[in-house]
Amino acid sequence: MAGEPKEDEVGTGEETEVGRVISNNLGVVIHFFLSALAVLLLVAAAIAAYDTVIREFPALWQQQDEYTVLQRIIENILLIAIAAEFALLLLFHRMSAAVEVMVFVIARKTVSPNITALDLLLCAAAIAGLIILRHYYLPGKTT
């Protein structure tokens, strides 16, 4: 039969019991490791959120330069959102989570005070492209 692979070809035989056990256990270990990393990221994001609320928000009423304080708060909030979305990406391996991480990273870049007009235009185009990609080309719910 021409369609059947030969037995001496590499990778065409059935998986051995030892290989199956190693594969399953390695998969469990990797999943556990990624889950632990995601939990650590979420704990760090929760600590950062608490720190932002306790330290940064009262500074809005204490300083004269509210714009700088508000900019720092927005940067911190976007960094917390990046950490949370990245933890979600580590747990579920969804392509939409990867796109959302990139949107938050680009959005955080646009908050920078020393961004040029060209950088701002490129960031806006990149966010629009990622939103279009997520809406039209990624399967599943987009809302």
Both tokens of 108, joined, read 């955080």
Do 138 and 99 meet the contact criterion of CB atoms below 8 Å apart?
Answer: yes
Please tell me the predicted confidence (pLDDT) of residue 39: 95
Q: Is the pLDDT of residue 28 over 60?
A: yes
Per residue, the 3-state secondary structure of the chain, as one string, reads CCCCCCCCCCCCCCCCHHHHHHHHHHHHHHHHHHHHHHHHHHHHHHHHHHHHHHHHCCHHHHCCCHHHHHHHHHHHHHHHHHHHHHHHHHHHCCHHHHHHHHHHHHHHHHCCCCCCHHHHHHHHHHHHHHHHHHHHHCCCCCC
pLDDT per residue as tens digits for the range 52-82: 999 988 888 886 788 888 888 999 999 999 9
Closest-CA residue to 78 (of 42, 57, 104, 56): 104
pLDDT per residue as tens digits for the range 79-96: 999 999 999 898 888 888
pLDDT per residue as tens digits for the range 127-143: 999 989 888 887 765 45
